[in-house]
């Protein structure tokens, strides 16, 4: 593919996330971006087993798309030391907040099982080999509520096709939203997709947050509606 074609392809690619920059970073946060982030940055290799990005004791890899301030990503990493957690987040202020949390824990936990990608999560998904992820999280993504913006919602049938390729049989897909129309949108696409199975038996299955699904600061303070939790499995 020549340079002009690549540039045209990039322009045509739908941007599924919002702003990349927020408030000005503090001096300490900027220092962490310059020093700590490079040690955790995901160095993508096309079709490489993602366990290669982590220490040898890692036996599974999970992906979180849009980790926000990183509370959930860090919680999962600390409680599953045998799992490699890849987090994708283009919003630099959120990345800086996670780095600050990691810096606070540097004497007790060096987070060897976290790798960060500060750009589009689709870069990761497209580079992964088939059947290489054990779990995928998409928690409280931007719902893009206006009808004309629905094409920018991250969960699309095309995205589920991509995830189905890289998820292992039995791998779990977790989605949460406080926007009822977006939850319904996602559920409709999951149920229509032949590669995924939704196993809910009652309303409690999507209205109750599972014990191993920690509450984030956003969920505690800034919800715009009642949250719903979706768990589906790769057939």
Active-site annotation, residues: 142
Bridge partners (DSSP) listed for residue 197: 233
Give 3-state DSSP helix, strand, coil % of the chain, rounded to 5: 40, 20, 40
* CA dihedral (142, 143, 145, 149) positive or negative: positive
* Coil/strand/helix, residue 98: helix
Whole-number Å distance between alpha carbons of 96 and 52:
25
Which token pair is 125? 């998904």
Instruction: For Cα atoms 172, 178, 180, give the angle at the middle one, nearest 5 degrees.
Output: 95
In contact, 23 and 97? CB cutoff 8 Å: no
In contact, 104 and 97? CB cutoff 8 Å: no
């Amino acid at each position: 593919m020549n340079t002009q074609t690549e540039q045209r392809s990039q322009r045509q690619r739908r941007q599924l996330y919002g702003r990349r920059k927020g408030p000005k970073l503090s001096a300490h946060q900027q220092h962490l971006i310059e020093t700590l982030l490079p040690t955790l940055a995901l160095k993508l290799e096309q079709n490489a087993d993602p366990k290669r990005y982590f220490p040898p004791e890692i036996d599974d890899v999970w992906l979180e798309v849009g980790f926000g301030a990183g509370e959930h990503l860090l919680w999962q990493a600390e409680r599953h030391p045998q799992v490699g957690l890849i987090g994708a987040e283009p919003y630099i202020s959120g990345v800086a907040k996670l780095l600050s949390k990691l810096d606070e824990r540097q004497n007790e936990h060096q987070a060897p099982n976290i790798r960060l990608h500060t750009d589009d999560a689709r870069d990761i998904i497209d580079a992964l080999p088939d059947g290489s992820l054990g779990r995928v999280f998409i928690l409280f993504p931007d719902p893009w509520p206006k009808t004309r913006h629905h094409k920018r919602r991250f969960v699309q049938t095309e995205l589920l096709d991509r995830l189905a390729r890289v998820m292992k049989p039995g791998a779990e897909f977790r989605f949460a939203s406080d926007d009822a129309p977006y939850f319904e949108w996602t559920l409709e696409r999951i149920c229509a997709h032949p590669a995924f199975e939704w196993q809910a038996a009652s309303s409690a299955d999507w209205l109750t947050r599972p014990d191993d699904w920690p509450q984030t600061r956003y969920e505690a303070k800034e919800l715009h509606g009642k949250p719903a939790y979706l768990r589906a499995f790769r057939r």
